[in-house]
Amino acid sequence: MRKIFISYRREDADEAAGRLSDHLVSQFGQDNIFMDVDGIAPGRDFRKVIEETLTQCDVLLGVMGRNWLDIKDETGNRRLDNETDFVRLEIASALRRDIPVIPVRVQGASVPKPDALPTDLKDFSYRNAVELTHERWNSDVHVLVDKLNRLFAQTEPCPPPPAPVQNTPQPPALVQPATPVQPAPPVAQMTPPPPLPVPQKKSVKPIVRWSLVGLFFLSFFGSIENGDNSTMVLSLILFVFFAWDPFKWFKPKI
């Protein structure tokens, strides 16, 4: 929250400054309103105390009554001409800091001309003023509060830019060695079962052949007994023809 400093003279506009302070406290909070630099420790330079207080504030309201410009001290000299005058120190310090300084006119007072002010206060004449009247006090204070809110919104400090992102080099990623691909186990080849043997048909040829061999064998021996040489020779030839390679007749054919 922004802080507001109220500068005034007790002999000039004490009541108006008090009423204004009450309204501002209700709007901005007690801790954000500074009024009267009281409690200055003995031995401290009050000029530095005023300077330090104003460094905490964002705007100064200079409350001016009818006697603000010409009010005199006990020696008869105008207070504004005194370099140690509190009001002069407060306004001059705010002008040097170049914070908003708003003249607040009460009791029908007007902003003085530059030539009526000391050198360090001349810029005060060029600051845009507001007026608080007794008849429209609440509405006039409301207008001032509205102006302060808009002023604070315009001078709201910008957030600091984000810190630049520093690109920190990342360590190279560890490359995991590739897992060798295991070859798939060979698919077992289905060995077809051996073909079943084809049953061979029993052939009658061997029976016939060996029957003929037996027959010619018997004829051969019969011809020997009978002495029939021709029959014996024929039987022998036939016997040899059929019996010379008997296994050839029984070899299976593929």
Q: Phi, psi at residue 49, to the nearest 5°? A: -65, -45
Q: Which residue has the higher pLDDT, 134 or 46?
A: 134
* Coil, helix or strand at residue 211: helix
d(CA 230, CA 192): 61
pTM confidence score: 0.60
For 116-153, what is each residue's pLDDT tens digit?
999 999 999 999 999 999 999 999 999 999 999 998 88
Hey, what amino acid is at 186?
P
d(CA 94, CA 101): 7
52 has a pLDDT exceeding 80: yes
23 has a pLDDT exceeding 80: yes
Structure tokens at 138: 């609440």
The DSSP letter of residue 72 is B
CA 52 to chain centre: 42
Q: What is the pLDDT of residue 2?
A: 84
Name the nearest CA neighbour of 81 among 90, 94, 66, 71: 71
Given a contact cutoff of 8 angstroms between Cβ atoms, the answer to whether 21 and 4 are in contact is no
198 has a pLDDT exceeding 70: no
d(CA 153, CA 148): 8
For 83-124, what is each residue's pLDDT tens digit?
999 999 999 999 999 999 999 999 999 999 999 999 999 999
d(CA 116, CA 95): 17
d(CA 48, CA 84): 11
Hey, what amino acid is at 238?
L
d(CA 17, CA 130): 14
Q: Which residue has the higher pLDDT, 229 or 30?
A: 30
What's the CA angle centered on 5, arms 4 and 9, to 5 degrees? 145
